[in-house]
Amino acid sequence: MTLVVWLGFGCAASISEPVAPPALVSWDVVPSNPYVEAEVASEELVSIVVTADMPDELIERKLLNVSLVIDHSGSMTGEQLDDAKRAVEAVLKTLRDDDRVSIIAFSSEVEVLLPQTAWSEVDTVALRASLAALQPRGTTDMYNALTAAYSELVKVWEPQQRVSRIVLLSDGEANDPTYLPQIAQTAFSSGIAITAMGLGPFHNEVMMAQMADLSGGHYRFIEASDNIGDFFMAEVQSMEQIITHNATLTFTLGPNVVATQIYGGQAGMSGNQLSIYLGDMSSGEKREVALRLSVNAKAQGAHMEIADAVLTWNDAAFETNLPYRLTEYVGAESTKDLALIESNIDTKVVQAVERLHASWEIEHALNQVEAGNIDYGQQLLQQGADRYRQNSIGLSDEDAGLPDLAESISTSLDSYAPPTAPVLYDGELNLGGLEGVDIGGGYGAGSLGTKASPAPATATAPKLSDADLIQFKKARAKTRALSGR
């Protein structure tokens, strides 16, 4: 028997058992134009939207295999640690007897407060006493804490029956971040996602987001500690409603087609094939990914093979772990009729991709400022804000939050070091494992065109105020949220 999963644009794909009443996973794969200019290199944009959705009456709560990893280093002072303890207590109250949980506390040393145990077998009085005894002290041995959490989770290996997740809360920089990507990749290979929650202004959001992306989890920015409980509870709810495991987008590019930019996730590239790992998806979750492609078109009337798109995942909704696969082909016709090309531009696709590009510009700007290239960073912040607004007409007022925040950050940077002088961009960037790499101009409104790049290593990184650090983290969280991460 087969299941027909209907795609957003009217096509269908047949896949194997089990049979689900409605479609749970859908996607739209839409190019910006069905035509490309003949005999020249031109640009094609592709928008991909993946949605996981399951009717409430069909959702069955998943068994959990979770490890809570709590930072109690010296910086977790005041209400921060108390709020973290209360958040852990709130999560524990939601657990069912068959759920399995461990709790890892770390500072300079790592302590397993609770080994991986079925909740029905936990001595809750002793556990609460251990939590209450935690005090702020020492440094931040994040790597060994995550290693301990991983070791606890793999004691019970039931990928078809349980959702396995490490939930990390930290307010600071890891003592040694060198091997954090490695533990994230190890977790991924075992079907374990890491949700990394960064608290306050001093955590390394770039590293925490990378760990989340590599493992298929989430990065969350928590501005104030009294919100920890809300974030923890939202994460538990997300785990309970998982529909897909290991969702992955793969694109095989056609002849004479090159990816110049990728948005919405970290991409691995091998030859003409690129993959973007989406990880676990819960009911109601939507992921947006986009490609900017350079197409060296053939003669008038020739058909251009742009890309084969494949979405794969393993079933989590019915706990079978069976593999599923959807496919879609993207092609275009080459023509010298420029009016025909112009009249067939899908402006919704162009605007969606340009918004993703604007969010990448803003994130890239923050990286440049932190490297000391303040003037260039300010240019990119304003450029990203302008681009986003130009391509957000008709969207809700809430969407104005990102460009407004970018401009606010740019203004605050006036008080820092003198601007650095830009040099011409050399166009040599490596796509492998990166997101949003740009080796070409833009498409449509707000095109980048020729641009400057930061001054070389003579720039000095500014010492940002706590308020500006918070703004940076808010902006990075918003840029990720735009693509559903």
pLDDT at residue 459, rounded to an integer: 64
Residues 315 and 289: their CA atoms lie apart, in Å, by: 21
* Ranges assigned E (strand) in 159-271: 162-170, 193-199, 219-222, 242-253, 257-263, 267-270
Between 190 and 159, name the one with better pLDDT. Answer: 190
Question: Residue 366 is encoded by which pair of tokens?
Answer: 């923050």
Judgement on whether residues 181 and 253 belong to the same structural domain of the protein: no
Judgement on whether residues 24 and 131 belong to the same structural domain of the protein: no
**What CATH number is attached to the domain comprising 118?**
3.40.50.410
Judgement on whether residues 274 and 235 belong to the same structural domain of the protein: no
Judgement on whether residues 207 and 286 belong to the same structural domain of the protein: no
Judgement on whether residues 407 and 290 belong to the same structural domain of the protein: no
CA quadruple 170, 175, 177, 179: dihedral, nearest 10: -110
**Most confident segment among 314-318, 427-431, 450-454, 458-462:** 314-318
Task: Give the residue-averaged pLDDT of 250-263.
Answer: 96
66-95: b (≥16 Cβ within 10 Å) or e: bbbbbbbbebbeeebbbbbbbbbbebbeeb
Cross-strand pairs, 275? 250, 268
- 482 contacts 288 by C-beta, under 8 angstroms: yes
240, 270, 295 - which closes a domain: 240
Confidence of residue 11 (pLDDT cuts 50, 70, 90): very low
Task: Give the residue-averaged pLDDT of 136-161.
Answer: 91
pLDDT of 334 strictly over 80: yes
pLDDT at residue 12, rounded to an integer: 38
pLDDT of 451 strictly over 60: no
Q: Range with the lowest mean pLDDT among 105-109, 399-403, 466-470?
A: 399-403
Q: Using one digit for the tens of pLDDT, what is the confidence trace for 264-304?
A: 988 889 999 999 999 999 999 999 999 999 999 888 999 99
pLDDT of 173 strictly over 90: yes
Alpha carbon separation from 87 to 82, 226, 229 (Å, rounded): 9, 9, 4
Between 457 and 80, name the one with better pLDDT. Answer: 80
**What CATH number is attached to the domain comprising 312?**
2.60.40.3670
Judgement on whether residues 18 and 75 belong to the same structural domain of the protein: no
Judgement on whether residues 92 and 201 belong to the same structural domain of the protein: yes
- For 80, residues 6+ apart whose C-beta sits below 8 A from its C-beta are 171, 199, 200, 225
Judgement on whether residues 263 and 225 belong to the same structural domain of the protein: no
Q: State which H helix or E strand residue 277 sits in.
A: strand 273-282
Q: Using one digit for the tens of pLDDT, what is the confidence trace for 462-481?
A: 889 999 999 999 999 999 99
Residues 405 and 382: their CA atoms lie apart, in Å, by: 10
Judgement on whether residues 127 and 276 belong to the same structural domain of the protein: no
Number of structural domains the chain divides into: 3
Judgement on whether residues 151 and 233 belong to the same structural domain of the protein: yes
Of 239, 193, 196, 201, the closest CA to residue 220 belongs to 196
pLDDT at residue 61, rounded to an integer: 84
pLDDT at residue 254, rounded to an integer: 97
CA quadruple 195, 87, 469, 280: dihedral, nearest 10: 20
Judgement on whether residues 178 and 70 belong to the same structural domain of the protein: yes
pLDDT at residue 319, rounded to an integer: 82
Task: Tell me what the pLDDT averaged over the chain comes to.
Answer: 86
- For 342, residues 6+ apart whose C-beta sits below 8 A from its C-beta are none
Domain that holds residue 320: 3-58+243-345
pLDDT of 425 strictly over 90: no
pLDDT of 62 strictly over 90: no
Q: Which amino acid is at 423?
A: V
Confidence of residue 73 (pLDDT cuts 50, 70, 90): very high
